[in-house]
Structure 1
Amino acid sequence: MAFLEEPEPQRGVALPVLPGVRRIVANNPSLMTYHGTNTYLIESDQGFIVLDPGPEDAGHLDDIIAATGGKVCAILLSHTHSDHLGATSSLKARTGAPTFAFHRVADPSFEPDVLVHDRDMVAGMLAIHTPGHASDHLCFAARDGVVFSADHVMSWSSSIVSPPDGNMAAYCASLRLMLSRNDSLYLPGHGPPLPNPTPYVADLLNRRVEREEAIFEALRSGPSNAWDLMDRLYSKTDPWLRRAAERNVIAHLEKLHAEGRVAQAGEIWSVQR
């Protein structure tokens, strides 16, 4: 499958995405965040809805305030990973806007003002609980088939699924849930917009299924630990990416274990006899 690329975006500027929607790309580029976290500014009659304030960074916070004039009426969280959550408390302190997040947050240090449940309407958008990458992950479906897909589906890369909060069975189920919809555009948490997302999401799911079967077949030749399985099945060379790939392998193994297909003895995994 082909991932999408984009040039490094202009920093500190609210870039137009759609009518009434802009994004500021936080200055936190990395192997896991691409050019940085997308903070979306969504216009409404009451002011701006800020979706994912981004990392704790004074400059990024100032950019949000400058772009909105401080007129923020709601702060939405797709999930509570630090590159999305970090600036939330500071933004709330400067604007007084209430925070909205899934009712069972994965980060116990954060208490949202409004607890969001699956299928709730939030700031005119439908909240869709899509666990897998994170247990508290939400996508937000707006008008005309536009979905803020956050880290569940990104255009530039597949998502890491890292236990214990990451869960591969939940992730695959969430991909199938999104496939049941008829959306036209995803606006992800990192990277450029993703038009016509359905074939792309189908490819993401197929790749996970294929990877899982490759792991199972590798175990048929003998017991192994997750690191060695990663080393055999992935072509990553960067140490950080290799560790991320190992986390994905562990997530697949836990799914296979829950399905009764593999057994675990310490760090060693084997086909269930």
Structure 2
Amino acid sequence: MIPYVRQLEFEYGRVDQVSPLIRRVIANNPGPFTYLGTGTYIVGRGEVAVIDPGPDLPEHLEAILAATAGERIVAIVITHHHSDHSPLAAPLKARTGATVYGCAVAAPPEADPDEVRLEAEADMAFAPDVSTCAGGGIAGPGWTLEAIPTPGHTSNHICYALAEENALFTGDHVMGWSTTVITPPDGDMTDYMESLERIRGRGFSTLWPTHGPPVREVAPFLDAYVAHRRARETQILQALAAGPARIADLVPRLYADVDPRLHPAAARSMLAHMIDLVRRGKIRTEGAPQPGGEYRLA
């Protein structure tokens, strides 16, 4: 079982000092994709970085500016382009002149109108001043951020390590309150598992997700996060050992304990697993993996 952490004391718009170098302001945008809301992090003192400014809410913009009154925002740092993370970057840049860091995303394929929506809308207008797609560093007085590419949740997801506290801002790559949504085509399970292993190998002391409280018991949490995905993969392989099947056949069996209303979402997650398993030669299907394709053991 994943040892979720879900309790958090906060007020919307209030700035809280959560570590020696980190402050947090939470936007009032709670929901099924954002949990309690977007947690915007302010790193440093005097000249500061703002990580994931969040949705374009005027009151949240004013809360960030109030939290940094008398200081200078020099960097606006984005983990990925979803609408609960990046849209406020442009208004914040307009008010402060700060440089925007992040990884732009390629235009996605045309959306399927029948596809179940599992995530916040994409902010396709996001355009950083400085690309962190290949990594890189961002520094200010007393703080140093390292951009670590972590594709999987999205193709352009970046985590940021704070060297001085051996901490990692994980965006939606790792969340304490929930597992992370991986939905093709922009989400990719193969990339995601590789990114998880990359983070697990770094030995961080604290993870700061954009939604929810920090993860402080990092090693066992990441172990459980990985084990959860591998267990689902094993279930799929065991089910296919009984014969070929389609995702629509497998979801009611493998997600029997899940509210049937969530089965369409489960099917998208299973598709991500199927794509990964096909790539690794564990299973096969005719043509490219599709939601309605038939799958069998290789």
Q: Same fold (TM over 0.5)?
A: yes
Opposite residue 169 of structure 1, the aligned amino acid is: T
Opposite residue 159 of structure 2, the aligned amino acid is: C
Unaligned 5+ segments in structure 2 are: 108-122
- Cα distance in 2 for partners of 1:9, 1:231 equals 38
Distance 1:7 1:186, change over 3 A: closer
Residue 133 (structure 1) aligned with residue 153 (structure 2): yes
Residue 168 (structure 1) aligned with residue 168 (structure 2): no
Alignment of 1:137-216 (within 5 A): 137-142=157-162, 143-216=164-237
Q: Does structure 2 conserve the Cα–Cα contact (< 8 Å) formed by 1:219 and 1:269? A: no
Identity %: 38
Opposite residue 50 of structure 2, the aligned amino acid is: V
RMSD (Å) for aligned C-alpha atoms: 2.0
TM-score by length of 1: 0.92
Alignment of 1:11-50 (within 5 A): 11-45=12-46, 47-50=47-50
Give the number of aligned pairs. 271
- Cα distance in 2 for partners of 1:28, 1:183 equals 28
Residue 269 (structure 1) aligned with residue 290 (structure 2): no
- Cα distance in 2 for partners of 1:177, 1:196 equals 17
Distance 1:86 1:225, change over 3 A: farther
Q: Does structure 2 conserve the Cα–Cα contact (< 8 Å) formed by 1:160 and 1:247? A: no
1:237 to 249, 259, 263: 259
Distance 1:210 1:11, change over 3 A: same
Q: How much has 1:30 moved relative to structure 2?
A: 1.3
TM-score by length of 2: 0.85
Opposite residue 67 of structure 2, the aligned amino acid is: A
**C-alpha distance after superposition, 1:76-133 (max 9, x if no partner):** 0011111101211111112111100026567652221011143411232111111111
Matched with 1:81 is: 82
Opposite residue 67 of structure 1, the aligned amino acid is: A
Opposite residue 40 of structure 1, the aligned amino acid is: Y
Q: How much has 1:238 moved relative to structure 2?
A: 6.8
Provide the secondary structure at the position in 2 that maps to 1:121: strand
**Off by >4 Å, runs of 4+ in structure 1:** 103-108
- Cα distance in 2 for partners of 1:41, 1:34 equals 20
Q: How much has 1:5 moved relative to structure 2?
A: 1.4
Provide the secondary structure at the position in 1 that maps to 2:6: coil
- Cα distance in 2 for partners of 1:208, 1:76 equals 29
Q: Does structure 1 conserve the Cα–Cα contact (< 8 Å) formed by 2:146 and 2:160? A: yes
Provide the secondary structure at the position in 2 that maps to 1:33: coil
Higher mean C-alpha displacement, 219-228 vs 158-167: 219-228
- Cα distance in 2 for partners of 1:6, 1:105 equals 36
Matched with 1:53 is: 53
Unaligned 5+ segments in structure 1 are: none
Distance 1:243 1:200, change over 3 A: same
Q: Does structure 1 conserve the Cα–Cα contact (< 8 Å) formed by 2:77 and 2:102? A: yes
Matched with 2:137 is: 121
Distance 1:115 1:271, change over 3 A: same
Q: Does structure 2 conserve the Cα–Cα contact (< 8 Å) formed by 1:183 and 1:196? A: no
Residue 252 (structure 1) aligned with residue 277 (structure 2): no
Higher mean C-alpha displacement, 221-230 vs 154-163: 221-230
- Cα distance in 1 for partners of 2:87, 2:250 equals 34
